[in-house]
């Protein structure tokens, strides 16, 4: 079924000239409010996992060129190069923009289908995007067993390890590595692997920010790391101490990183994180201010919807 869909997309791309595709990819797709589509499109990505430092434009860019053409998704047509049946050409910069936008807005069905067309091209830019998208897509599958998710997570980890071997100087490779390590920590059944994963995750995020100081997603995820680790209580640390030394987290460092992420790219998830940090620091006034700001931001993906729901719950606690 997937092969037929991809072949159909390739034929459509071959038939359409560049100018014709530009006519097809019109109309804004940056919604003021998110409406989930298929079972996969509402992924359970962590807010900071929206990935990378994409700074797309508005009208005239690929951010505003996604719509459906009957049984063929125009977004997928935009991802697949207009090449011959026997040759797969690397994506263009515009096609990478499409991929990043589809990920940010939770349109994972289209993104995964398009990326799988390029499966034989093991380039760094494709590998980290595939690993990120495939894991987000698999997390959204309902009723998936733990064993299935573990196998798919390992497949994604293999992709990112391959990307790391090819070029470890790409910031988003380290970012996606951290995302997958966090997933491994959540699946781990004992404190030992969890502690090791926490340390590796922090190291990967610090490397991502060192390579690209403007990687807002890495800054946000590292802020969340410090926030969550700072919440580990004395008793839990003593219990975990049998398996290794638990790393230290700082609310002040979390606050600094959250502001850094917000300055790079303002998101509802950053605003919620700022509110949560201020709440833990005992500043209820600022916590309430940023909760209210988060509630006013339009949602563009399922992560935003979940962030707004969490912000509404926090607002009740601040009354």
Q: Where are the alpha helices (DSSP H) in the chain?
A: 2-15, 18-24, 74-79, 93-104, 108-117, 124-139, 146-166, 171-187, 191-211, 216-230, 234-240, 251-264, 268-280, 284-296, 302-317
**Contact (Cβ atoms closer than 8 angstroms) between residue 221 and residue 175:** yes
Q: What is the pLDDT of residue 301?
A: 80
Closest CA to 98 of 115, 83, 117: 115
Stretches in the chain below the pLDDT threshold 50:
1-48, 50-72, 82-84
Question: Alpha-carbon distance 215 to 207, whole Å?
Answer: 11
CB of 258 closer than 8 Å to CB of 230: no
**Whole-angstrom distance, CA of residue 243 vs CA of residue 247:** 12
Residue 128: its pLDDT value, please?
Answer: 97
How far apart, in whole angstroms, are the C-alpha atoms of residue 300 and residue 156?
25
Which residues, including other chains, have CB under 8 Å from residue 14's CB and lie 6 or more apart? Answer: 82, 83, 84
Q: What is residue 146's predicted lDDT score, i.e. its pLDDT? A: 74
Q: Which two tokens stand for residue 67?
A: 């719509």
pLDDT at 139: 82
| Predicted structure pTM score | 0.74
Between CA 36 and CA 306 the distance in angstroms is 12
> 104 near 301, Cβ under 8 Å?
yes
């Amino acid at each position: 079924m997937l092969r037929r869909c991809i072949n159909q997309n390739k034929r459509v791309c071959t038939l359409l000239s560049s100018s014709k595709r530009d006519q097809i990819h019109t109309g804004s797709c940056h919604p003021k409010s998110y409406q989930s589509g298929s079972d996969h499109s509402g992924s359970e990505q962590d807010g900071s996992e929206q990935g990378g430092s994409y700074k797309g434009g508005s009208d005239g860019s690929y951010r505003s060129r996604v719509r459906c053409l009957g049984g063929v998704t125009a977004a997928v047509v935009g991802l697949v190069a207009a090449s011959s049946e026997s040759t797969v050409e690397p994506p263009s910069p515009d096609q990478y923009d499409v991929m990043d936008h589809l990920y940010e807005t939770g349109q994972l069905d289209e993104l995964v289908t398009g990326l799988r067309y390029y499966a034989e091209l093991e380039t760094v830019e494709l590998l980290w995007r595939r690993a990120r998208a495939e894991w987000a897509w698999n997390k959204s599958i309902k009723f998936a067993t733990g064993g299935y998710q573990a196998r798919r997570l390992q497949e994604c980890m293999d992709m990112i390890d391959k990307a790391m071997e090819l070029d470890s100087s790409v910031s988003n490779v380290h970012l996606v590595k951290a995302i997958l390590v966090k997933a491994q920590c959540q699946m781990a059944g004992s404190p030992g692997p969890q502690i090791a994963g926490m340390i590796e995750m922090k190291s990967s995020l610090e490397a991502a920010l060192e390579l690209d100081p403007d990687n807002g997603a890495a800054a946000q995820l590292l802020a969340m790391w410090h926030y969550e680790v700072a919440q580990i209580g004395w008793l839990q640390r003593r219990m975990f101490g049998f398996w290794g030394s638990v790393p230290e987290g700082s609310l002040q460092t979390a606050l600094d990183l959250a502001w850094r992420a917000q300055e790079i790219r303002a998101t509802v998830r950053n605003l919620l994180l700022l509110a949560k940090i201020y709440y833990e620091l005992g500043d209820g006034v600022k916590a309430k201010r940023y909760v209210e700001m988060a509630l006013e931001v339009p949602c563009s993906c399922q992560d935003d919807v979940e962030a707004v729901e969490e912000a509404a719950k926090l607002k009740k606690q601040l009354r």
